[in-house]
Amino acid sequence: MKDKAVDLPQFKEMVDLFLSEGFNYFDTAHGYINGLSELALREALTSRYPRDRYLLTDKLTESYFKREEDIRPFFEQQLSWCGVDYFDFYLMHSQGKTNYEKFQRCHAYEIACELKKEGKIRHFGISFHDKAEVLDQILTEHPEIEIVQIQFNYLDYEDASVESRKVYEAARKHNKPILVMEPVKGGTLVNLPDAAQKIYDDLNAKNGTKHSNASYAIRFAAGFDGIRMVLSGMSTTEQVRDNISYMKNFRPLDEEEMAAVKKAADCYKALEAIPCTACHYCVEENHCPKNILMEHGLLL
């Protein structure tokens, strides 16, 4: 971002570098940057490259429909905003116990399947934010789901509120390929407390390497069976270069690196910090389910 707008010259540079190195997966949703993300993708990606050069994922978010009749017009508008005729993946966004009933009542899953039959969606799935038992319920009731996007990182792996491991295991139980979001937990696993940073610094010094903090987190997530894609949330050209450096010729964490990651997680757990991913959903209009910030005039 630059002056509250997408820095399109830098974004185009990031897209060009990403594609030139053999990567091709892009993820968006209308709520990202309050609608600017889809438009930026059109400017930097879809208007500049042939359709077979990239895979594009978009999502149906609860706050943008009130009834069944709203879904198709919104979807068609998303195609227009992104400048494409179809999405490679279309996900029911941020599924959980609190909004699943609305998606059911509005027949959102059925509409998505119809759009797939029409060729406007290549693959149908969900992104998920809840406990493992809820995911198991959704996948049992909707076996037509092709792919599941989950929050998965080494800090949340055994966290009781996020249940990354259990959610991952639920998806694997139903034989669903997995997309990973929040592998660096909104930057939390890049900007480490001193004790955790020392663990990686010592490991790099011992092995004569210069691996970034992000590399340990992203390679942790990418190393599990069934993981098809890891969304790193790159924000600068330098972050793209860093990601490419360890993902182009990917290798999972070895035993020594895995032990270091677990020690780093223990350092965080000792802080008893609030498990925030810096998604900012709680402060963006239409995202807080209780409108707490809006009612008290605190929306920034």
What is the DSSP annotation of 40-79?
HHIIIIITTS-GGG-EEEEEE-GGG-SSGGGHHHHHHHHH
Q: What is the pLDDT of residue 269?
A: 84
pLDDT band at 13 (very low <50, low <70, confident <90, very high): very high
Full-model pTM: 0.90
Could you give the strand order of the β-sheet that contains 25-27, starting from the edge strand earlier in sequence?
A: 25-27, 55-60, 87-95, 121-128, 147-151, 178-181, 227-230
State how far Cα 77 lies from the chain centre: 22
Q: Each residue of 125-182: pLDDT tens digit?
A: 999 999 999 999 999 999 999 999 999 999 999 999 999 999 999 999 999 999 999 9
Tokens for 130, please give them. 């809840």
Cα–Cα distance between 71 and 121 in angstroms, integer? 14
Beta strands in the chain (DSSP E): 25-27, 55-60, 87-95, 121-128, 147-151, 178-181, 227-230
Q: Contact, 44 vs 56, CB < 8 A? A: no
Cα–Cα distance between 75 and 28 in angstroms, integer? 13
Q: Percentage helix, strand, coil, to 5, in the chain?
A: 50, 15, 35
Q: What is the mean pLDDT of residues 198-204?
A: 98
pLDDT band at 300 (very low <50, low <70, confident <90, very high): very low
Q: Each residue of 240-298: pLDDT tens digit?
A: 999 999 999 999 999 999 999 999 999 988 875 555 555 666 666 556 666 665 554 44
Q: Each residue of 71-125: pLDDT tens digit?
A: 999 999 999 999 999 999 999 999 999 999 999 999 999 999 999 999 999 999 9
Q: What is the pLDDT of residue 268?
A: 87
Beta strands in 28-86 (DSSP E): 55-60
Cα–Cα distance between 263 and 243 in angstroms, integer? 23
Length of the chain counted residue by residue: 300
pLDDT band at 57 (very low <50, low <70, confident <90, very high): very high
Nearest-5° angle of CA 83, CA 87, CA 276? 100
Q: What is the mean pLDDT of residues 216-224?
A: 98
**Residue percentage of the chain with pLDDT more than 70:** 90
Q: What is the pLDDT of residue 279?
A: 61
